[in-house]
Amino acid sequence: MHDNCRFTIMQLLQFTDIGIYCPAGDFYIDPWQPVQKAVITHAHSDHARGGSENYLCHHDSVPILQLRLGAEIHVQGVAYGEKIRMNGVTISLHPAGHVIGSAQIRVEHEGVVWVASGDYKTEYDGISAAFEPVPCQTFITECTFGLPVYNWQPQQVVFDNIRKWVYDNQQVGKTSVLLGYSLGKAQRLLYHLRDISPEIWAHGAIYITNQMLRDNGWDLPELHRITPDTPHSVFKNNLVIGPPSAADTTWMRRFNPYSLGVCSGWMQVRGHMRRRNADAGFILSDHADWHGLLTAVKATGAEKVYTTHGFSSAFARYLQENGIPAEEVKTEYGVTEEEETNPS
């Protein structure tokens, strides 16, 4: 580290222009520029970016990273709870419940413990390893939905609503088109709703991810891939899954007549839902809701919390007023298409 840092108390993790940096271990967590050593919380594109020399992530994220960043990357997979040493710093990954392979990163050095949450949700979704609170002194938490207006219903309720919607569409001969992210939402929907229609058709991006996960042993249904040659008649009464970017594009025309459903935590607010021009909004998120965030923060027992990625200033102020020292930090997470960001 630079000379001028020697005389100040060095933080175990630092917020730099490149990403979250551990000077003692000389590695970055989810850097947004290429580095020597990158520890990756999960494979979404705003957290796992290309160009770094070495990647470390959970075993389940390895094939996803290879699919997205290229088969030639140097990537090491670890199990949840497995301890890795880097320059005397101990690193371990713990389930974040966000998507398949997602992890919180625990960093320990000379009795000091920090945890970087990456993205997480506290409700078990049935397919991603369930979130576990990790005791620490300092917790870096995402807060995409860090306002008390965002509270989720149990996913079973949402799935029941989706089932009803698909059924209603079938009664009037409409195709049901659901938009959700290719990593995360798509698996969650497919895992729980595999029997919802005779066939499930998917956009190429979703098909490829699903096929790769199936090849790696995940219990997901077989999908039908939509190509330019797919006759339009096959969609009738079936479920189609597409990425959020497909909304308002000509790709949608082939499904006529169809009903469009969007699965996202943002659907909680009517204005947002109306802006999407969707016929149905399902409040389904891979991020923690307000109560989830508060519960998670308290469960860590952290003495200091850094909030990032979302309503970070409001969430930090609320924690502060409730006796938990908290501070907002700026990162570049939650800015790409893939993530469940506020598309504005």
Partner 1 sequence: MKAFADLIKLLSNSTKTNEKLDALSRYFASADPKDSIWVLALFTGRRPKRTVNATQLATWCLQMTDLPGWLFEECYHTVGDLAETIALLLPPGKSIATHPLHFWLEQLLKLEKASEVEKQQFILNAWDELDTSERFVFNKLITGSFRIGVSQKMMVNALATTHAIPAPTLSHMISGNWDPRQITLDELLNEDVTGADASKPFPFYLAYALETAPDVLGVPEEWQAEWKWDGIRGQIINRQGQLFVWSRGEELITEKFPEYGPLLEHLPEGTVIDGEILTYANDFPLPFQTLQTRIGRKNVTKKQLQEAPVVFLSYDLLEWEGKDIRTSPLSERRQLLEQVVERVNHPALRLSPAIIFHNWSALIEFRMQAREMGSEGLMLKKKDSAYQVGRKRGDWWKWKIDPLTIDAVMIYAQKGHGRRSNLYTDYTFAVKDGDQLVSFTKAYSGLTDKEINEVDNWVKRNSIEKFGPVRTVKPELVFEIAFEGIAASNRHKSGVALRFPRISRWRKDKPPEEINTLADLQLLLKMQQ
Helices 62-69 and 204-215 cross at an angle (nearest 10°) of 140
- 77 versus 148: smaller Cβ distance to partner 1: 148
Instruction: Determine the interface stretch with partner 1 among 114-122, 193-201, 217-225, 275-283 (rule: CB under 8 A).
Output: 275-283
344 contacts partner 1 (rule: CB under 8 A): yes
- 39 versus 278: smaller Cβ distance to partner 1: 278
CB within 8 A of 99, min separation 6: which ones? Answer: 42, 43, 44, 119, 128, 183, 184, 187, 286
285 contacts partner 1 (rule: CB under 8 A): no
Q: Can you tell me which residue has the tokens 């199990």? A: 79
Q: Which listed residue (74, 83, 232, 274) binds partner 1 by CB under 8 A?
A: 274
318 contacts partner 1 (rule: CB under 8 A): yes
Interatomic CA distance for residues 50 and 30, integer angstroms: 11
Smallest separation (angstroms) from partner 1 to the CB of 148 = 6
Query: Angle at the Cα of 115 (from 59 to 113), degrees rounded to 5?
Result: 115
Instruction: Determine the interface stretch with partner 1 among 64-72, 148-156, 176-184, 299-307 (rule: CB under 8 A).
Output: 148-156
How many C-beta atoms surround the C-beta of residue 135 within 10 A? 12
291 contacts partner 1 (rule: CB under 8 A): no
Interatomic CA distance for residues 287 and 47, integer angstroms: 14
Cα Rg of the chain (Å, integer)? 21
Interatomic CA distance for residues 211 and 28, integer angstroms: 31
Smallest separation (angstroms) from partner 1 to the CB of 149 = 4
Instruction: Determine the interface stretch with partner 1 among 45-53, 178-186, 205-213, 310-318 (rule: CB under 8 A).
Output: 310-318
171 contacts partner 1 (rule: CB under 8 A): no
Please check whether residue 59 is in contact with residue 80, taking contact to mean a CB–CB distance below 8 angstroms. no
* DSSP state letter for 80: B
# residues contacting partner 1 (CB under 8 A): 26
Smallest separation (angstroms) from partner 1 to the CB of 267 = 10
Phi and psi based region of residue 155 (left: phi greater than 0; alpha: psi -120 to 50; beta: remaining):
alpha
Q: Which listed residue (279, 295, 320, 327) binds partner 1 by CB under 8 A?
A: 279
* DSSP state letter for 279: S
268 contacts partner 1 (rule: CB under 8 A): yes
Q: Which listed residue (90, 148, 214, 221) binds partner 1 by CB under 8 A?
A: 148
317 contacts partner 1 (rule: CB under 8 A): yes
256 contacts partner 1 (rule: CB under 8 A): no
Q: Which listed residue (40, 116, 162, 273) binds partner 1 by CB under 8 A?
A: 273
The H or E element spanning position 205 is helix 204-215
Q: Can you tell me which residue has the tokens 């923060």? A: 297
Smallest separation (angstroms) from partner 1 to the CB of 266 = 8
5, 47, 132, 228, 313 from 297: Cα distances, Å? 29, 21, 11, 47, 15
151 contacts partner 1 (rule: CB under 8 A): yes
17 contacts partner 1 (rule: CB under 8 A): no
227 contacts partner 1 (rule: CB under 8 A): no
149 contacts partner 1 (rule: CB under 8 A): yes
Please check whether residue 326 is in contact with residue 305, taking contact to mean a CB–CB distance below 8 angstroms. yes
Residues that bind partner 1 (CB under 8 A): 147-151, 268-275, 277-281, 311, 314, 317-318, 321, 342-344
